Amino acid sequence: MNTIRMPIRFSKQTFEMETIDENSDEYYATLVANAIQIESKELPISTYFGVIDPVFDERQTNRTISDASRYIPEITIRKVTTNLNDDGTRNISVSFERG
């Protein structure tokens, strides 16, 4: 099933909430991004889902993303790169393959 696009947007033409098509690259990218941002036991029912917060430990980044990919068996993580910005924030880029 399609999933809601975050941040939430509405179509100018149909005024419907925009969604991401299931099985699209963006769909899996959204799942990876969500999985990285949800900590274990954060969801009240699916307590198994999520990863350890990697924010302050760069060395764990690869492992964290590897853990996150376990919840999305349709993809394989190929590459993770991090980039420290001047303002102290860190961008993480995840490359994956479907199949």
Partner 1 sequence: MASPNFSQYINLTVSDLNVVDIYDDSVEYAQTNLPEFNPRVGTIENAILEATAYQTNNIVTSINRLPDGLMEGVLSLMGFSRIEATQASGTVTIELIINTGSTILSGTTFSFDVYDAEGVLTQYLFETDEDLTIASGSTTGTVSVTASEASQYPDIPVPSALTVVSSTPFILNATLATLSTVGQDTETDAEYFNRGVTYLSSLSSAITTASQMTSYIAVNYPTVSKFKVYDLTEVLENYVTNAVLSTNVVTLTTASAHGYETGDSVTVRDMANAVYNGTYTVTGTPTTTTFTYAKTNTNITSAAVAAGSVVLATGMLFSTADSGGNVTVSMCDSAGDPISDEQKTIIKADLSSRVVAGLNINLQDTNTFNVDVVVSIAVEPNYSTSVVGTAVSDAIESYLSVTGWDWAESVDARYLTTIASKVTGVKYVDSVDATLNGATVFASNDSLNVTILEKGAIPIGSCTTTAV
Instruction: State the residues that interact with partner 1 by CB under 8 A.
Output: 1, 3-4, 6, 30-31, 34-35, 38, 43-46, 49, 71-72
Both structure tokens of 91: 């961008």
Which CB, 4 or 84, lies closer to partner 1?
A: 4
Which CB, 11 or 46, lies closer to partner 1?
A: 46
Nearest approach in angstroms of CB 34 to partner 1 is 5
Nearest approach in angstroms of CB 7 to partner 1 is 10
C-alpha span between 78 and 23 (Å, rounded):
18
Nearest approach in angstroms of CB 57 to partner 1 is 22
Which CB, 45 or 78, lies closer to partner 1?
A: 45
CA nearest neighbour of 36 among 87, 80, 84, 83: 80
DSSP 51: B
Residues 6+ apart with CB under 8 A from 83: 90, 91, 93
